[in-house]
Amino acid sequence: MDSSNLSELEQLVRRQLELVGEDPSRDGLLRTPLRVAKSLEYLTSGYKSDLKKVLNNALFDSKSEDMVLVKDIDFFSLCEHHMLPFFGKCHIGYLPKGKVIGISKLPRIVEVYARRLQVQERMTHEIATTVQELIGCDGVGVVTEGQHLCMMMRGVEKQNSYTMCSSLLGRFRDDARTRGEFLNLIHHRRS
């Protein structure tokens, strides 16, 4: 975000404080508009991310066709309906077809899509299709588990509920054994 946009966002936050009945010039709120503007800039940085730069040529030749799984990838995002946080875990599995991706790139892909105004369902699908396109693999499975502050703090106020979404592509969708192996592995807990 350039400095003029950051400054404009800071002014909008200042006005929001006034509209909710606060005095943005009081001691505790003096720097709040700038902090909120910078926070929003960071929390929506995924819009400016270039997936090719994120990947950084970390695709490697591999003869393996066995499932690769990275689970419990922490994420946080902002709900596009209320701009309140939702957060949780993402699990990604794929079946290589001549190439594997550096495993640190999978959490980075999650960050690209989580750091946008989102709904969990779309984010899950975007992660899956991106992994499929970048790697050219035989299949991808993505499952996300999220807790939404818009459900916890307002509306129905259910603090213990969570949402699960899945996106299954290629053999993860078409082959029941592959899908079953993936789902079984993501429920496995370390001892």
Residues 6 or more apart whose CB falls under 8 angstroms from that of 154 comprise 82, 84
Active-site position among 8, 11, 18, 81:
81
pLDDT of residue 189: 80
Check if 80 is active-site: yes
Closest Cα partner for 85 from 149, 151, 156, 40?
A: 149
Closest Cα partner for 168 from 114, 118, 131, 116?
A: 131
Range of the domain at 104: 54-187
Has residue 118 been placed in a domain?
A: yes
Mark whether 34 and 94 lie in a shared domain: no
Check if 91 is active-site: no
* Predicted confidence (pLDDT) at residue 81 exceeds the cutoff of 90: yes
pLDDT of residue 158: 87
For residue 163, give the H/E element and its range.
strand 163-170
What is the pLDDT of the chain when averaged over all its residues? 95
Has residue 121 been placed in a domain?
A: yes
Active-site position among 16, 22, 41, 82:
82
Mark whether 18 and 87 lie in a shared domain: no
Mark whether 180 and 86 lie in a shared domain: yes
Has residue 49 been placed in a domain?
A: no
Mark whether 24 and 69 lie in a shared domain: no
Residue 40 to residues 6, 43, 44, 73, Cα–Cα distance (Å): 9, 5, 6, 22
pLDDT of residue 4: 86
Mark whether 75 and 7 lie in a shared domain: no
Active-site position among 120, 132, 137, 165:
120
Mark whether 99 and 161 lie in a shared domain: yes
Check if 150 is active-site: yes
Active-site position among 79, 90, 137, 165:
79
Active-site position among 8, 18, 65, 80:
80
pLDDT of residue 14: 97
Total tally of structural domains belonging to the chain: 2
- Round to whole Å and give the CA distance between 142 and 125: 8
Question: Tell me, what CATH number does 15's domain have?
Answer: 1.10.286.10
